[in-house]
Homo-oligomer: A and B are copies of this chain.
Amino acid sequence: MKIYQTHMAPNPRRVRMFLAEKNIEMDYQEVDIAAGDNLTPEMRAKNPTTKVPFLELDDGTCIGETVAICRYFEEIKSENPLMGRTALEKAQVEMWQRRIEFHLLLPVSMCFVHTTGYFKDRMKPVVEWGDISGQNAVTYFEELNEHFSQSSYLVDDYFSIADITLLCSIDFARVVKIRINEEYTHLLDWYARVSSRSSASA
């Protein structure tokens, strides 16, 4: 099996970090999305959404969407679970995963594609929406800082896929010059703790 990915993009990093935490070795094939390598008929046949990353199994079955790929590996390798250990914890991981996606990763992505024009050959940027999205992402840091004043990780003291999503979102936000305000010391402490995991450089 192998994963098609673009090394610099945030979603492939989420998968690489997830697999590193679970000690799963993987072959990666680089896809140059800026050059449109993901848009060829051969690639669309494997992955109709054209998004990276996607997983190709040995029988040719392809699985797209970051969290779907992670779920596959969570299911086939149960050691070191990152998506929860009990019913309640699985629900809490799902809740935080989605909060981080909707309140941070998606707004940062909107800010990126609508204000930089990076994909202007394949979509129409709306700069006002990009600017608002960036402001929404910044606002969310305050809530996260408050959360980490009470909790080591997003779900209590349990490191999960939601923390991986948060780290990758924060680092991705640098491309649109969004950084954590230095007064958010609890969030910065969490950031230092998670950034220092060996999986963070996967």
Give the interface of A toward B (CB within 8 A).
48-49, 57, 61, 63-65, 67-69, 71-72, 75-76, 86-88, 90-92, 94-95, 98-99, 103, 124, 126, 128-129, 132, 143
Inter-subunit contact A68/B92 (CB<8 Å): yes
Copies per assembly: 2
Is B63's CB under 8 angstroms from A92's CB?
Answer: yes
- Closest-CB distance, A60 to chain B (whole angstroms): 13
- The answer to whether A72 and B88 touch across the interface, beta carbons within 8 angstroms, is yes
Say whether A98 contacts B65, CB under 8 Å: yes
Contact A68:B88 (CB < 8 A) given known A126-B129, A128-B126, A132-B124: no
Cα-based distance from A53 to B147 in the complex (angstroms): 21
Within 8 Å by CB of A87, from B64, B65, B76, B94, lies B76
Residue contact A49 to B103, C-beta cutoff 8 Å: yes
Looking at chain A's contact residues, is the secondary structure mostly helix, strand, loop, or mixed?
A: helix
A77 to chain B, nearest CB (A): 10
Closest B residue to A55 by CB, please name it.
Answer: B91
Instruction: Given the known inter-chain contacts A65-B94, A68-B94, A129-B126, please indicate yes or no for A49 contacting B99, CB distance below 8 A.
Output: yes
Q: Are A91 and B71 in contact (CB under 8 A)?
A: yes
> A91 contacts which of B63, B90, B126 (Cβ < 8 Å)?
B63
Please measure, in the bound complex, the distance between the C-alpha atom of A60 and the C-alpha atom of B63, giving whole angstroms: 37
Hey, which chain B residues are within 8 Å of A98, CB to CB?
A: 65, 67-68
How far does the alpha carbon of A98 sit from the alpha carbon of B98 in the complex, in Å? 11
- Please tell me which one of the listed residues B57, B61, B87 contacts residue A72 in the complex, with CB atoms under 8 A apart: B87
Taking the closest CB of chain B, its distance from the CB of A174, in whole angstroms, is 23
